[in-house]
Amino acid sequence: MAPAAAYAASGASIRGRSLRAMPRPGLIRIRAGVLVLVCRGLAQFGVLPMSVLTSSRRPFGNTGLEVSPLGFGGAPIGLLETGEETVSALLNGLLDRGVNLFDTATMYRGSQDMIGTAIGNRRDEYVIVTKCGLASEGDNPARWTRAKITHDIDHALKQLQTSHIDVMLLHSCSRDVIDRGEAMDAIIRAREAGKVRFAGYSGDNETAAYAATLPDIRVLQISVNFCDQMNIDSVLPVAREHGVGVMAKRPIANAAWKPTEEQYEGYRNYYAPYRERFETMDLSLEELAGTGETNWAGLALRFTLSHPEVSTAIIGSTNPRHIEANVEAAARGPLDDEAVQLIRGAFTAARAGRDWPGLT
């Protein structure tokens, strides 16, 4: 997943007071002009029934697990220092709506601990995915030693308040790190000890395609969205061939449709490549009116979910209204083939003569 700045545009940092071991919430409060959900579930916010995504779960490759088409990306809740009361309401609400995959990482400050505190008591209801190593420091050898990866795994178990991690991903390391084998060996040993169920890789392009061919890699996390389609052709077919589950990161393309001045200042450099692609593709909601979507976020998410190799699309937010909109869009299912082909054609035409790889 992305660095801290990537999540600053997730909506707003809705903050509540710190409150550990809070009971299941049951009302909505207004505090200092900010809406804070303190309800048992987001169903009170929308019109869809509880557990709306339960019936639409997808196979997670050949792991034997089934996951909701929408997953929760846990970076913002820590990086934006969201209050525990708010986090508890958001995560319990997502579980109530049928979202059963939660993604985090050792580098997401506070995220693992917040997830464990908020929903650790419902551990049998969800799949937890986390990541080891530290992507922001690249291939610094100290980040990929057996000792460091083992430490990350043990630390994650403690913070997440769980006896096992469903999927542990190597976090955006190079192929050289994979081939050296020390980092992967640490995950394999943890798997043999019952601490980890499946190993995986978070990254893109040729390295992700290579990782999918390795027998110990059972899950990939790659960028798939309407402004980032390279992995659709180069990675998804390999994942399908090898029975590897796929988590789509950046499924709404970093809100590339938003003008630069509406983006959080610290996020603009991260968002800029997708903004350039979006403008070059020159798509409009009007020409995609047949999808029934009236906003780009819903259309973007449904495009990502239109690829059957994608098990789940993960979005991080601290904004309850955005989260509810994501649940509703995922419940509407994939786009029709005509819309998918129109979007794919726009990307192909726009990238002619340009280097548009999958962005990590």
pLDDT tens, residue by residue, 199-232: 999 999 999 999 999 999 999 999 999 999 999 9
Q: Cβ neighbours of residue 341 under 8 Å, at least 6 residues apart?
A: none
pLDDT digits (tens, 9 = 90+) for 122-131: 999 999 999 9
Number of domains in the chain: 1
Give the domain CATH number at 306.
3.20.20.100
52 band by pLDDT with thresholds 50, 70 and 90:
confident
Cβ(309)–Cβ(343) below 8 Å: no
In a domain, 359, yes or no: no
Structure tokens at 191: 């798997």
Task: Identify the pLDDT of residue 20.
Answer: 34
In a domain, 360, yes or no: no
Cα–Cα distance for residue pair 268/255, rounded to 1 Å: 11
In a domain, 186, yes or no: yes
66 beta partners: 59
Structure tokens at 307: 């690829």
How many other CB atoms are there within 10 angstroms of residue 59's CB atom?
14
Task: Give 254-312 as a 3 state SS string.
Answer: HHCCCCHHHCCHHHHHHHHHHHHHHHHHCCCCHHHHHHCCCCHHHHHHHHHCCCCCEEE
Task: Identify the pLDDT of residue 139.
Answer: 63
Burial class (CB in 10 A: 0-12, 13-18, 19+), 79: buried
47 band by pLDDT with thresholds 50, 70 and 90:
very low
Q: What is the mean pLDDT of residues 142-163?
A: 95
Q: Which range is least confidently modeled, 130-144, 220-234, 344-358? A: 130-144
Burial class (CB in 10 A: 0-12, 13-18, 19+), 272: middle
In a domain, 170, yes or no: yes
Distance of CA 235 to the CA centre of its chain: 17
> What stretches of the chain adopt beta strand conformation (E)?
27-31, 34-38, 58-59, 66-67, 70-73, 101-103, 127-132, 165-171, 196-202, 217-223, 245-249, 310-315
Q: Domain containing 101: what range?
A: 20-350
**Higher-confidence position of 18 and 250:** 250
Task: Identify the pLDDT of residue 2.
Answer: 43
How many other CB atoms are there within 10 angstroms of residue 141's CB atom?
10
Cα–Cα distance for residue pair 271/278, rounded to 1 Å: 11
The whole model's pTM is what? 0.86
